[in-house]
Structure 1
Amino acid sequence: MARRRGVMSDRLKMELAEELGVADIVRAEGDFGSVSSRDCGNLVRLAIEKAERSMV
């Protein structure tokens, strides 16, 4: 099965994780696999908000 390439860069994901306070979890595990689905949803929400603000 082919793995899909993410839309967000790793740098952006870490920046968002820092803002939400989950970056320590990501650093400890090496990926976003241990971040709760709620926090992942919040990361997506924050990314969308930032994208919408940049379009104005």
Structure 2
Amino acid sequence: MAKKRGIMSERLKEEIAKELGFYDVVEREGWGGIKARDAGNMVKRAIEKAEQGVAQKNK
């Protein structure tokens, strides 16, 4: 079976997890150990970062 490729880089995921305060869980249990709510918040934050980047480019 082919491995599913993620959209977010590991570095970005780690940065956001640290920002949101659950990186310790990732270190202990891996990405599968985070709560669904944390995963959702992580995606939301990634979208916000992307939108900010686009806004900066368009200035």
Report the equivalent of 1:20: 20
Report whether the alignment pairs 1:44 with 2:31. Answer: no
Q: Unaligned 5+ residue runs, structure 1? A: none
Flag the structure with higher helix content: 2
Report the identity percentage.
53
What do the CA deviations read for 1:1-56 (whole angstroms, capped 9, x no partner)?
32210011111000000011000000111x21010001000000000000000001
Taking structure 2 as the reference length, the TM-score comes to 0.88
Task: Give the secondary-structure state (helix, strand or coil) at the position aligned to 1:6.
Answer: coil
- How far apart, in 1, do the equivalents of 2:26 and 2:4 lie? 20
- How far apart, in 2, do the equivalents of 1:15 and 1:38 lie? 17
Q: How many corresponding residue pairs?
A: 55
Report runs of 4+ in structure 1 exceeding 4 Å deviation.
none
Taking structure 1 as the reference length, the TM-score comes to 0.92
Q: Unaligned 5+ residue runs, structure 2? A: none
1:32 aligned partner, one-letter code: W
